[in-house]
Amino acid sequence: MINATLYRREMKGSVKLLLILAAVITLYVSVIIGMYEPEMMATLDSFYAVMPELMASVGMRAGATSLIGFMISYLYGFILLIFPMLFCILRGNGLIAKYVDNGSMATLVAAPVRRSTIAFTQMSVLLSGIVLLVAYSTALELALAMTGFPGELAAGELLTLNAGLLCLHLFIGGICFLSSCLFSETRTSLAFGAGIPALMYVLQMLANAAEDAKAARYFSLFTLFDANGLVAGESRALLGMFALLLGAVALYAAAIAIFSKKDLHL
Amino acid sequence: MSVICVDKLTRDYGGGKGVFDLSFRVEEGEVFGFLGPNGAGKTTTIRHLMGFIRPKSGSCTIGGVDCFAGRSEIQRNLGYIPGEISFFDDMTGTEFLAFLAGYRKLGKDHRAGEMLERFELDPKGKIRKMSKGMKQKLGIVAAFMHDPQILILDEPTSGLDPLMQSRFVELVEQEKRRGKTLLLSSHMFEEVERTCDRVGIIRQGKLVDVDSVEALRARHVRTYRVTLDSEQTAQAFARDFGGTCDGRTVTLRARQRLEDIFMHYYGGDGK
């Protein structure tokens, strides 16, 4: 099912990107959690009073009083959505479509290794990267909250929240990977693999910013990730999380099936 | 027994490109040359044999197994040199060969070292920095390292200098003696002539002729005998015109270019 040699090579190919993204996430998460102060809250609330649309479009709301509410407002609207998404887009394309486009896929298929094994291995590389990024973010958040504000953060709430975040990114990764398996050119693979998630993020921003654009949320998969609902333990939010997970499984299964059957003009 | 069977294979890319109703067989232990100009459909046929693409109609099998459905099984015993070499650029040649050995689960028992020596290739550098010829050599090493029974080679000598081309011809001869079955595509008559038992000539996706090299040679290569005034002149003449000298007599072979051979098949419609 999985080719260990290929997996090792591709994980090595992910390291640099993972390190860069982890560094960016470290920077933002530590700065934002470090900003959690009652006085600071007042300042941010005053920003919100001046430019509510702009703040809301990136998921930031006024009156986030608890530490986790504060984190949801300032981390889960932009930073923890965009950076793992960037990983999905770049690696999703790089793992299949790039090799088909530049011809090096010939090396992989001209060997006694099933196409389904090749696709499954490449998928595992993508999933490993996503899991690593979310797991790292979780550990970082926990460590910073525990040292900076002992007793302020309920670990259970954060784990539920990040399980939802993981499902969202697995789904986004699924879109990128399907696009990569479907198209034989990097250009088209990126157009769909990056275009669809980016468009949905913009729709989400619109829906957050303007009352009139609320309907836009029905066209965005980001809606299924309801951070506040997950922390509150709402069943609707949990349902959304499982919908994302199921959708992700379907996307990866479709991607592997398509890659196994398609014509490769190598 | 036929190892490679192509039966009424058709794949239309539109605009006259593709292969049409193509049928031929390659017997066990035979070196089969697949000769044709660029864009004639050689690579398209090879893509079908490799199981990269599915035939639109007709079929192709290797060892009795369907090339698309049974591709991973077939690949166990097959070596392949792609027409356009594209490996993982970010690796060094050494890393790439180690990767292949692991990927194909060869263990330590493979011929990469012997092949590197034969083609005088130092694989330490990054593949991205390698010249066309070096990449081609690496492709040859990769195709032969697992000592496959069947070899499909798409223009295997492109980019090689004449010395290395000769080494390659020696390798093909040696593998043939070891009972291997080879299909070798080329657009150069000389290359096919030196290595192959039988030749299939393909043009605009259709097989024009399949015949033994001797028969083709008899039809397309004329031999002349020239007698000169002195042995010295004869030797100089032989050297300049690539003939063989015997006393004052020099034997010359006129090599026809591929276009001329196609002219023969199409009665002047050599476009």
- The full set of domain ranges for chain A reads 4-261
CB A103 to CB B90 under 8 A? Answer: no
In a domain, B126, yes or no: yes
Residues B230, B157 share a domain? no
- Whether B68 and B194 map to the same domain: the answer is yes
* pLDDT single digits (tens) B154-183: 999 999 999 999 999 999 999 999 999 999
- Taking an 8 Å cut-off on Cβ atoms, the answer to whether A103 and B88 are in contact is no
**ipTM over the 0.90 cut-off:** no
For residue A41, what pLDDT is reported?
A: 66
Min distance B77 CA to chain A CA atoms (Å): 8
Instruction: Tell me the shortest Cα–Cα distance from B105 to chain A, in angstroms.
Output: 9
Give me B83's structure tokens. 């027409």
- Amino acid at site B175: E
Residues B250 and B150 both lie in one domain: no
| Binary contact (B78, A107; C-beta < 8 A) | no
* Long-range pairs, B98-101, Cβ under 8 A, ≥24: B99/A5, B99/A9, B100/A107, B100/A111, B100/B142, B100/B145, B101/B145
Q: With pLDDT > 70 as the criterion, what percentage of chain B qualifies?
A: 94
Residues spanned by the domain of B229: 222-254
DSSP per residue over chain A, as a string? ---HHHHHHHHHHHHHHHHHHHHHHHHHHHHHHHT--HHHHHHHHHHHHH-HHHHHHTT--TT--SHHHHHHHHHTTTHHHHHHHHHHHHHHHHHTHHHHHHSTHHHHHSSSS-HHHHHHHHHHHHHHHHHHHHHHHHHHHHHHHHHHSTTSS-HHHHHHHHHHHHHHHHHHHHHHHHHHHH-SSHHHHHHHHHHHHHHHHHHHHHHHH-GGGGGGGGG-GGGG--HHHHHHT-HHHHHHHHHHHHHHHHHHHHHHHHHHHS----
Strands B198-203 and B206-212: antiparallel
Per-residue pLDDT band for B267 (boundaries 50, 70, 90) equals low
Contact B87 A107 (CB under 8 A): yes
Position of tokens 């993972």? A18
Q: Give the separation between CA A229 and CA A227, rounded to whole angstroms.
A: 5
Nearest-Cα distance to chain B for A265, in Å, is: 7
Does the pLDDT of residue B229 top 50, yes or no?
Answer: yes
Q: pLDDT below 70 — which residues of chain A?
A: 38-42, 44, 58-65
Rounded to an integer, what distance in angstroms lies between the CA atom of residue A76 and that of residue A69? 10
Interchain CB distance below 8 Å, A110 and B47: no
pLDDT at A62: 57
Would you call A148 exposed, middle or buried from its count of C-beta atoms within 10 A (0-12, 13-18, 19+)? middle
Please compute the mean of the pLDDT values over residues B98-120 and round it to a whole number.
93
Q: What is the pLDDT of residue B195?
A: 87
Tell me if B103 and A104 make a contact (CB, 8 A cut-off).
Answer: no
Residue B148 shares a structural domain with residue B233: no
Q: List the single residue in A with minimal CA-CA distance to B90.
A: A13
Predicted local distance difference test score (pLDDT) of residue B259:
59
- The residue among A3, A107, A114 with the most chain B CBs within 10 A of its CB, best to mutate, is A107
Whether residue B130 is found in the same domain as residue B205:
yes
Q: Residues of A with CB below 8 A from B47's CB?
A: 264-266
Same domain? B78 vs B175: yes
For residue B271, pLDDT over 50 is answered with: no
Rg of chain B over Cα atoms, rounded to whole angstroms, equals 20
pLDDT at A240: 94
Q: Does any CB of chain A come closer than 8 Å to the CB of residue B55?
A: no
Whether B98 shows a pLDDT value over 70: the answer reads yes
Assess whether B248 and B126 both reside in one domain.
no
A15 touching B (Cβ < 8 Å): no
Verify whether the Cβ–Cβ distance B82 to A3 is below 8 Å.
no
Q: Does A9 touch chain B (CB under 8 A)?
A: yes
Domains in chain B: how many in total? 2
Same domain, B108 and B129: yes
